[in-house]
Structure 1
Amino acid sequence: MAINMELNMPSNVRNVDTELLFWRRPEDLSVVVDFTKNKPEEGMAAMKAMDERHPVQVQDIRGQEARFTLDQNGFQYVRHEIPGLDNAADLTYIESVIIPEMEKLVQQTTGATKTITFTHRVRCFADDANMLANNRAPAHSVHSDFTPAGALRQLESVVRDADERQRLLKGRMQIINVWRPLKTVERDPLAVCDWKSLDWRQDRIANRLVLPTGWNELGKYSFNPGQKWYYLGRQRPQEALIFRQFDSQADQGGMTLPHTAFVDPDSDNGPARESIEIKMFAFQ
């Protein structure tokens, strides 16, 4: 069962001054990388050339979690127990226990009547650069998993029947990411940007990846000094972060929430972060 986080301001709240990795803003707010015409390393180099770092303060909301909601800010922390998270390396356990429990949590939180999980990832390495798309290290780049176009493309790849897609799209469709630690986070915590602080018309960059199997489109983001970044200090396994990666009924830009791992200089030598993220469609 999900329980709203209680207001309990601790004495060890830590705002962190760090740098986040953004993209420089292109004129047309769009970058297409065609891996069918270029070598993978060339495509990766073209994207890396867009990188630029900016100093940002990430605010610790420990004790103030109740101020932030999925509808207003694009993210929400909830207290949620799952037995046996230590078994997250076991694919059978993930599919039979963890994913169903996460889907129940999303249904309780959003009011969704149907959920479809389409991917999950366990991150347990400090550095895994050679894995590229299958990277199991924290993602140190400000991004969202989809743009609105990418979200609809993902629906096409998961729900192949066109009539069923049209039926589902008559209601509200969201893409929800549920992220939670497997152990208390000491290194590379996850930061989220308050959607209300974002100028998505100027800040979001559509990054379309053309692959031999088709295309997908994720969001990259340029820096804006008005952006507000938050995290939950020393986040624990029972403290789940739920955040939107698309909402068909959102007033502004589909609410594709930017997020990123970041370096806390005081704990950068700690043990590698262990976490699991599960992405799903939620329909109402």
Structure 2
Amino acid sequence: MATTTTTTTKTITTTTTTGPSYIPRGPTTAEITFYASPPDGSAPFNYVEAPPADQPQRNYLEQTQQVNINDIRGDEKSYNLDKDAFQTLSSVPTKTTYSTFDSDTAVRETYYPEVESLLLSSIPGAEKIVLFDHTIRRAKPDAPRQPVNRAHVDQTPRAAADRVRLHVTDSDEAERLLAGRYRIVNVWRPLTAEPVQSAPLAFASAQSVDKDDLVPIQHRYPHRTGETMGVKFNPEQEWKYWSGMSQDERLLLKCSDSKGLEGGDVAQWVPHTAFWDPRTPDGARLRESIEVRALVFG
């Protein structure tokens, strides 16, 4: 039967014969939205909030491509942060419940300590963790933050150093930490007890991404300007996803690594995006997730 599914960026018509409890697994082919340069050749920018009256929300373009996306389920332990810039963790204990994520205060008081402990125990060399924000995404029309359907990297190297200075308020300590290894890692997990069924997260192994595929974009806040990176399509990129992620699984996404700036084979970042799997059945659960962003020192 023909079905019409609304995402945050477009309406896609798909055909499926599966029941509403079906969880898509295995390799798939789906559309991913990639970066395209501003038509006038200007530096790309995006306003986080409402732009000034004479400015668009963003000045760059987008293009969609059909991409093969492979499922890492069953092979998830083959990947790590240094090699691929992503890593999986399973059977993670938690004291959170679904209602924990209705309150930012509860998230900080209950979930943040779990994330800090998890990162210290899971990332070799980690000595200090600074959690600096989180985003809860719900694929519902009235949700303030929805899944991002655009391939991107959260930080440039300059923006990562700025984050250290912004969130480590003692300037002397910040400069000392900047002299050592520092990373930015996002910790991604679903909120619901049931596995993720729709709008999963796709990510491209850092080993398959050329530095020329990434374009710095001014990320304009009301009181400062950061930088993210858009991702240009390259058929050599190897896109993956982790099917049916459950509440006790965590996906670590590395957004920056100062060690990678020195050259060598340490991955710096992983492009990622939500995508709509054409196998998603009618009546699928809408994806609900949280990502916590962390500075990892050491």
Query: TM-score of the superposition, structure 1-length normalised?
Result: 0.85
Q: Tell me which residue corresponds to 1:177.
A: 186
Q: Deviations over 1:197-254 (max 9, x none)?
A: 0002x10010013444011101111000000011111111111001101100013797
Query: TM-score of the superposition, structure 2-length normalised?
Result: 0.81
Pairwise CA distance, 1:109: 1.4
Q: Tell me which residue corresponds to 1:274.
A: 288
Q: Given that residues 173 and 282 in structure 1 are in contact (C-alpha distance below 8 angstroms), is that contact kept between their aligned partners in structure 2?
A: yes
Output the CA distance in 1 between the equivalents of 2:257 and 2:121: 17
Q: Tell me which residue corresponds to 1:8.
A: none
Secondary structure of 1:245's aligned partner: strand
Output the CA distance in 2 between the equivalents of 1:35 and 1:186: 28
Pairwise CA distance, 1:45: 4.7
2:67 matches 1:56: yes
Output the CA distance in 2 between the equivalents of 1:54 and 1:96: 41
Q: Tell me which residue corresponds to 1:24.
A: 36
Q: Deviations over 1:118-139 (max 9, x none)?
A: 00111123345xx8xxx42100
Q: Tell me which residue corresponds to 2:8.
A: none
Match of 1:107 among 93, 112, 120: 120
Pairwise CA distance, 1:162: 2.3
Pairwise CA distance, 1:30: 4.8
Output the CA distance in 2 between the equivalents of 1:33 and 1:92: 29
Q: Given that residues 75 and 244 in structure 1 are in contact (C-alpha distance below 8 angstroms), is that contact kept between their aligned partners in structure 2?
A: yes
> What is the root-mean-square deviation in Å for CA atoms of aligned residues?
2.6
Query: Given the superposition, is the C-alpha separation of residues 125 and 26 from structure 1 closer, same or farther in structure 2, using an over 3 Å criterion?
Result: closer
Pairwise CA distance, 1:164: 1.5
Q: Tell me which residue corresponds to 1:194.
A: 205
How many residue pairs get aligned? The number is: 265
Secondary structure of 2:130's aligned partner: strand
Pairwise CA distance, 1:25: 4.8
Q: Tell me which residue corresponds to 1:208.
A: 218
Secondary structure of 1:260's aligned partner: strand
Output the CA distance in 1 between the equivalents of 2:273 and 2:94: 25
Q: Given that residues 192 and 229 in structure 1 are in contact (C-alpha distance below 8 angstroms), is that contact kept between their aligned partners in structure 2?
A: yes
Q: Given that residues 25 and 222 in structure 1 are in contact (C-alpha distance below 8 angstroms), is that contact kept between their aligned partners in structure 2?
A: no
Pairwise CA distance, 1:272: 1.4
Output the CA distance in 2 between the equivalents of 1:216 and 1:282: 19
2:245 matches 1:245: no
Q: Identify unmatched segments of 5+ residues in structure 2.
A: 1-23
Q: Given that residues 28 and 68 in structure 2 are in contact (C-alpha distance below 8 angstroms), is that contact kept between their aligned partners in structure 1?
A: yes
Q: Tell me which residue corresponds to 1:154.
A: 163
Q: Given that residues 124 and 275 in structure 1 are in contact (C-alpha distance below 8 angstroms), is that contact kept between their aligned partners in structure 2?
A: yes
Q: Given that residues 47 and 58 in structure 2 are in contact (C-alpha distance below 8 angstroms), is that contact kept between their aligned partners in structure 1?
A: no
2:109 matches 1:93: no
Judging by fraction of residues, say which structure has more helix: 1
2:131 matches 1:117: yes
Give aligned-pair identity as a percent: 30
| Letter of the structure 1 residue corresponding to residue 146 of structure 2 | A
Q: Deviations over 1:28-68 (max 9, x none)?
A: 895245799x6268332523xx1011110111111001111
Query: Given the superposition, is the C-alpha separation of residues 67 and 222 from structure 1 closer, same or farther in structure 2, using an over 3 Å criterion?
Result: same
Q: Given that residues 30 and 205 in structure 1 are in contact (C-alpha distance below 8 angstroms), is that contact kept between their aligned partners in structure 2?
A: no
Secondary structure of 1:255's aligned partner: coil
